[in-house]
Amino acid sequence: MNQKGFTLLEVMLALLVVSVGLVALVQSAQHGANTTEIYQKKTAAYHVADQVMLQLYQRSDLQVGTHQGQELFAGRDFYWRAELSQTDNVNINRIDLTVGLNRQLDYFEAQLTGFKRR
């Protein structure tokens, strides 16, 4: 008897192979979406850090110590903290700036260091 077509076992194996491939494809797409969101937050945080650092550079009344603030950017509130400290050079201060999404800055999205002439 010579019949054309596929057996039930062949069809089931083909469906298994296709389903495994689709699951891997969906997981890969989800991972890509998560990675994109992470890097969007980091990019926005570095933009805020850059803008805050420029504002600190322009201030003439900046004193050694801790300075804090909040900036709204890309629909999110970013919190920043700048530690202004003295360096070995009496004419230059160091600024360590951190930016994050929570006020406590337990975890920060961006960190910059700059130097400002006194």
Share of the chain residues as helix, strand and coil, in percent rounded to the nearest 5: 45, 30, 25
Dist. CA 46–CA 39, nearest whole Å: 10
Indicate the helix (H) or strand (E) that contains 89.
Answer: none
Domains and CATH numbers, the chain: 8-117 (3.30.1300.30)
pLDDT single digits (tens) 40-76: 999 999 999 999 999 999 998 889 999 999 999 989 9
Q: What pLDDT does residue 29 have? A: 87
**Are 81 and 66 a contacting pair, CB within 8 Å?**
yes
pTM recorded for the entire structure:
0.75
Nearest to 80 by CA among 46, 43, 41: 46
Q: What's the chain's average pLDDT?
A: 92
